Structure 1
Amino acid sequence: MIDKTDDNATDIDALGLLCPLPVLRLRKVLMGLAPGAVVRLRATDGAAWVDVPHFCAETGHELLEAREEGQIKVFTIRHGG
């Protein structure tokens, strides 16, 4: 599920998805956005702690924030295109 939040970031719901699906969903959404756009990915998969920063480093996107809210990992990413 994708949703626009009040702060103009696009929310990506990857809750319950296992590796590599959170990163694949992130990549698909970023492909449809303009450079500089911000997305917020929420995931429960523990591998996301490694996968999302690695994806950003490899593809030129900027990882702005990574934090935990209980069992949920929240990543804020700026499209680097």
Structure 2
Amino acid sequence: MSASDYDVELDARGLFCPEPVMMLHNRINDVEPGGILRVIATDPSTTRDIPRFCQFLGHELVSHQASDDLFIYLIRRAE
């Protein structure tokens, strides 16, 4: 995945619930509507919390990848 696949990145590695979602809530505002935010996290609870965040606020979870202890999300900001 290259930087051209997303507009803004949030690195939440090493943070634990609820910090990644709190940071996501602030960082999504740095993305233009329709733009993509890439989130990198190490907290397994993000596999539950980030999809719920997207569903609740109307953002699109474009993709989710998990490998070892790393979770990567691409989120399209709602219009």
Partner in structure 1 of residue 44 of structure 2: 46
Structure 1 alignment gaps of length 5 or more: none
Aligned twin of 2:76: 78
The 1-side partners of 2:62 and 2:6 are apart by 15
Per the TM alignment, residue 75 of structure 1 is displaced from its structure 2 partner at its CA by 0.5
Which stretches in structure 2 are left out of the alignment for 5+ residues? none
Normalization by structure 1: what TM-score? Answer: 0.86
Counterpart of 1:17, as a letter, is L
Q: 1:46 aligns to what SS in structure 2?
A: coil
Instruction: Identify, as 1 or 2, the structure richer in helix.
Output: 2
**Percent identity of paired positions between Structure 1 and Structure 2:** 34
The count of corresponding residues between Structure 1 and Structure 2 is 77
Give me the CA root mean square deviation.
1.2
Q: What pairs with 1:25-44 in structure 2 (closer than 5 Å)?
A: 25-44=23-42
Runs of 4+ aligned residues of structure 1 deviating over 4 Å after TM superposition are none
TM-score (norm 2): 0.88
